[in-house]
Amino acid sequence: MPRTSNNSAIIRSRYFGAFDFPGDSVVYIVNGRQAKNKKSAETEVKKHASKIDRVSISEVGPDGKRLVEISFSEDDKGDDIVVP
């Protein structure tokens, strides 16, 4: 559990926990397109994102799934981004 200070969680992940949910409980939207599954969404973000612009994680909906939207900027040079 992350430490908190003044009721604010300290973020430890570049993706704000977007990939911490079971794959069958999430629908991923990556740069406006629905990803096939969790693995393809995570691979696309790690391979192409040079800057994460926005991560939005919804509450669980009536269908038992949550919506995770990730928007990012791509590296113009086409180099792979190494994520720690």
Question: pLDDT digits over 2-34, tens only?
Answer: 444 455 555 556 788 899 999 999 999 999 999
Whether 62 and 22 have beta carbons less than 8 Å apart is answered as no
pLDDT value, residue 84: 47
d(CA 46, CA 72): 10
Q: Are 67 and 21 in contact (CB under 8 A)?
A: no
Residue 25, token pair as written in the block: 């409980």
Helix (H) or strand (E) holding 45: helix 38-48
pTM, rounded to two decimals: 0.72
pLDDT the model gives residue 64:
95
